[in-house]
A and B are shown apart, each in its own frame.
Chain A
Amino acid sequence: MKEKIYAIELNNITKTFGEVVANKDVCLNVCHGEILAILGENGSGKTTLMNMLSGIYHPDSGEIQINGQPVTINAPKDAIDLKIGMIHQHFKLVDVLSAADNIIMGRHQKSKKTRKSKLPSELSALCESFGFDINLSKKIYEMSVSEKQTVEILKVLYQGADILILDEPTAVLTPQETKKLFAILKNMKQSGAAIVIITHKLGEVMEISDRVTVLRKGESIATVETAETTPKQLTELMVGRPVSLEIERPGVEQEKNMFEVHRLSVKNNDGVYALKDVSFSLNGGEILGVAGVAGSGQKELCETIAGLLPAEKGAVLYHEENILGKTPAEIINLGISMSFIPEDRLGMGLVSSMDITDNMLLKSYKNGKSPFVNHKPARELAQSLVEKLEIVTPSIKTPVRYLSGGNVQKVLLGREIESNPNLLITAYPVRGLDINSSYKIYDLLNEQKKKGVAILFIGEDLDVMLGLCDRVLVLCHGEITGIVDAKTTTKEEIGLLMTGETKTQQEEDAE
C-alpha cells in the first residue's frame, strides 16, 4: 500500500481550539477514482478536518500530502491551486447573478471577451460530461436548493478541482434529489476524481462510498471497506459501544382535536407567504411530525403558534379557543410551549451569556409579586435537570454558551418539559446531538406523550420521524402536501410529498 499515491493523505493531524481538541492524530487517505465517506457524529471534528484541507484552518501539527507531496494550505486559494474543491453546507453564491456568472466568478480571465463567448460552451461541455442537468443562465435566487448545490459543484469543477469535498451535501435535499446527486458523484468518480463526503447518515454511507473513515471525538477510529461493513457496525464505531436503533412508539389514549390549525396563512418578514392555507389537527397524546425541506415554513408555523408572528388569515384553535392575536405571554400561560432549535442551537430559546439557573427563569421569572427574581426554585430546577438529563457542565453557574450543543439542547428541552405544557412544539430537538442524547430526547418526548401532551415534532431525519411520530405532515413551500400515517408510509412517499407532489397527483401518476 505504501507505494500507492493518494490524492489526499492526512498523517496525524491535530487541531485544537483553546482547550477543545477538535482533531487528534487523524489519519486518512483517499485515492483518485474513489469515494471516501467520513462518518461521525456532530462535534466529532469532521468539518474542522475538511476546513484544514480547504485552507480555512491550519493544523497545529501533522502532515497533509496532496498527490504524494507534503503541502501547507494557508488560504482557500492554495486549496484551489491544489485542485481541491470544497462544497460547504451553506452555499456561497451571489443570488442576483446567473449560474454561469457564479461559476466563472473569481477566475483569472485573460480578456473580457471570454466571459461572454467561450465560457458557456466550456461549461455546457462540463455539464454534459458529468450528467448535470441545469440551465446556466438561470439566476441563483430563482433556483431550488438542489440546483444551487449543482452550481456549487460545477464551480469547483470549473476551477479544475479533481479532489472534491462535500460537507453534509444531502442535509438540504429530498431523497429524490439525493439520488440525482449520487449519480453525478459516481460519474465523477469514474472519471478519476477523488471524492470525500462528510455525513452522519448511515444509509448514504452504505449507498455511495467505497471506504468509510469513522471519526469519534476528533480521532480517526477506523477505516473500513463499505462492502465489508454493516450500518450496525458503523454505528458502534461511531458511538463507541453497541446501541439499539429502535425508537419506541407507545400507543396512547388520545384526546381528539385538542389543537387545530384552520386555513392558516402567514407572511414572513419579507412579505412573502411562508404558510398558505395550512390546516391540520393534533390530538392530545399524539406526536405529529412535520417533514419538509429546510425553509418550507416550519419556522413560521412554530412562531405563529407561539404568538411571535402575526397571521394573515385563518385560525389556531386550542381547546376550541382561537389563540391567534394573543400575546406570547398569554400563550405561554395557556400551557403551550415552543422550543425551536435553530442551526446555531442557542437561537431564541436560551440566553447564551446567562447560566443554567438564569435560563430556567426565562419564562417563569415573573412568578410571584416581589419585584425581585426568586432564584431559589430555578437553582433547584437547574440542579435536578443536570442530574436527570446528565447535562455535562462544570456547574449550574456556567454560562450556557460554554456548554456543548447537546447539553444546550437538554437545558432548553428540559426547561420546556418541566413547565408541564399541554402542547409541546419542538423543532429539531435532536439537531446535532449524538445518538445517545438523541434517544434520551425521544424518551423525554414519549414520556410527555404518555401524559397526554400533544406534541408537534418538526424534524429533518425521516427515519426518526417514521419511528417516533404517529402521523407525519409534509410541508412544501408553505403548503401541506400530505398528512400520512407514520406506521404505514414509506420514506419515498414522504420524499415525493416534500418535492411538492400532492397525494392525489401521486395516485394519478400511479395509474
Chain B
Amino acid sequence: MIANGTRTHEPLVRIAKRRERSRAELILLRAAAFLLAIVAGGAFIALLGHSPIEVYAEIFKGAFAGNKRDPLSAVKQTLVFFVPLIVTSLGLSLAFRMKFWNIGGEGQIIMGGIFATIFALYSTDNPGAIPSFILLPLMFVAGALGGGLMALLPAIFKIKFGTNETLFTLMLNYIALYFLKYLVSGPWQRTPGFASIGNFDKSARMWEIGGFHASLLVAAALVIFVHFYIKKSKQGYEISVVGESQPTARYAGMNVGKIILRTMFLSGAICGMVGMIKVSSTYTLTEGITGGVGFTGITVAWLSQFNALGMVLVSLLFAILQKGSSVMQTSLGLSADASNVLQGIILFSFLGTEFFTRYKFVFKKNNSKEKE
C-alpha cells in the first residue's frame, strides 16, 4: 500500500557516463562536429536565400584565389588574419594550461604594440638612426616586454591577494585601450584632427620575404617553441602540474608563485609580440590594432584543447572564413557578419560534441518492469 501511493515512472532518457574514448574516436568526433557545423551553417545561409554551396565556394575562392597580377594576393591576405590569431592563441594557451584565465590578450597586444611603437616613432623622427636589422628585433623585444609586464600585473595580484584573474585581465583590456586612444589622439598624434600617428619609417616596417611578411616565420617558430615547451620542458611540466592542482605542485616542491609569474609573463609576452607584428605590418598604431584577436584567440585555444598544432588548424580555418567572407560581401551581397555567425556555429558544434566524449544517452528499455 505504501508502494502504490508513491509509484513513479522511469524517465524516458537518462544521461550516463561512458568510458573514455580513444584518440582516433576523438578525432572522428571532432571531424563530425566540423561537418555538422558546415551543414548547419549551410542551412543558415539557405535561410538567408543564398545557395550554401555557392557561398562556401566563394569563401574558399576569396581566401585562396588571387588576381592575375599577383596569384598569391588572397593567400597573403588570409595569412594577415592568420598570423596574429595563431600567435595570440599560442600565448593564451600557456596561461590556460595553468588554469589561469587570461582574458587580457587584447590589452597585452595593445601594450606590446605601444612599446614597439616607441622605437618605431623614434626611428621615424630620426630616419636612419637605427638600421632596420637592429630596430625590428628591438621592437620585437619591446613588444614582448610590454605584453609580458601587462600580464604580470594580474599574476602578482592573484598571488598576493587572490584576486580573480578573469575580471582583472578583462578590465586591463579597457585600460590599455583607453591609454592607446589617449596616445594616438594626444602626445603621439601626427595629423591634427585625426587620431593618427602617421606611417612608420621604412626601417620600422616588417621585412618581406618573397612578398610574404617575415612574421610568418616568427609564428612558425613560436608554434614549434610552444609545442616543445609544453610537452618536453621542465617548465612546461610545472605548468601542467600547477594547472592540475596547486597543492600537488607545492607538495612536489615547486614554487607555485614563481611558476605563475613566469608563465603569465611568457603568455603576455607572446601576445605582446602580436602587437609588434601588427604595428610593423600596418606601419602604424591605431585603435583597431587587435582586430579582436585577443578574444578570438581564446576561442581558438579552447577549440584546439591548447594543442599547438591544433591551434594552427583552427586559426587557419578562422582566417579563411574571415578573409573569404570579406569577398562574399562584394560578390554576393551577403554581410561579412555572416562569417561571424559561421564561426559561432562551429564553436557551438565543437563544444556540443564535448558532451559526447564523456556522456551518453540511455533510453528507457522496453522490458522495463511495468507490470499491472
Contacts and interface: CB of A to CB of B under 8 A. Distances in A.
Contact of A354 (B4, B236, B238, B240): B240
A69 B4 contact: yes
Contacts of B255: 327, 329
A408 to B, nearest CB: 13
Interface string B7-37: 1111100101111100000000000000000
B247 A348 contact: yes
A27 interface: no
A70 B365 contact: no
Contacts of A351: 240-241, 244-245, 248
Nearest to B18: A18
B237 A365 contact: yes
A66 B3 contact: yes
A82 B3 contact: yes
Given A351-B248, A354-B244, A373-B234, A69 B8 contact: no
A61 B10 contact: no
A366 interface: yes
Contacts of A67: 2-3
Given A18-B17, A72-B7, A353 B371 contact: no
B253 A350 contact: no
A361 B233 contact: no
A363 B2 contact: no
A70 B371 contact: yes
A402 to B, nearest CB: 6
B191 interface: no
B26 to A, nearest CB: 14
Contacts of B1: 69
B219 to A, nearest CB: 22
B321 to A, nearest CB: 32
B10 A358 contact: no
B244 A362 contact: no
Interface in B231-278: 232-238, 240-241, 244-245, 247-248, 250-255
Contacts of A350: 248
A70 B245 contact: no
B68 interface: no
Nearest to A332: B253
Given A17-B16, A372-B234, A74 B3 contact: no
B250 A308 contact: yes
A352 interface: yes
Chain A interface category by residue count: 35 or more
A60 B363 CA distance: 10
A74 B8 contact: yes
Contacts of A70: 3, 369, 371
Contacts of A38: none
B1 to A, nearest CB: 8
B211 interface: no
A328 to B, nearest CB: 4
A328 B365 contact: no
A263 interface: no
A428 B110 CA distance: 52
Contacts of B3: 66-67, 69-71, 82
A338 B14 contact: no
A365 B232 CA distance: 11
B241 A362 contact: yes
A74 B369 CA distance: 14
B5 interface: yes
B6 interface: yes
B251 A308 contact: yes
A66 B18 CA distance: 30
A363 B248 CA distance: 10
B265 to A, nearest CB: 17
Contact of B237 (A17, A72, A306, A361): A361
B16 A362 contact: no
Given A82-B3, A308-B251, A328-B250, A365 B234 contact: yes
Contacts of A348: 245, 247-248, 250-251
B11 A74 contact: yes
B7 A71 contact: yes
Contact of A78 (B8, B247, B251, B369): B8
Contacts of A493: none
Nearest to A358: B237
A306 B253 CA distance: 9
Contact of B235 (A19, A361, A371): A371
Interface string A1-26: 00000000000000001111000000
22 contacts: A17-B16, A17-B17, A58-B10, A63-B369, A66-B3, A67-B2, A69-B3, A70-B371, A72-B9, A74-B10, A78-B8, A308-B247, A308-B251, A348-B251, A351-B241, A351-B248, A353-B240, A358-B237, A362-B248, A362-B252, A366-B234, A372-B233
Report, nearest first, the 4 A-B pairs whose CB atoms are least far apart. A69-B3, A329-B253, A19-B19, A18-B19
Given A82-B6, A348-B248, 5 more contacts: A18-B18, A327-B255, A338-B251, A354-B240, A373-B236
Interface of A: 17-20, 58, 60-61, 63, 66-67, 69-75, 78, 81-83, 306, 308, 327-332, 338, 347-354, 358, 361-363, 365-366, 371-373, 402
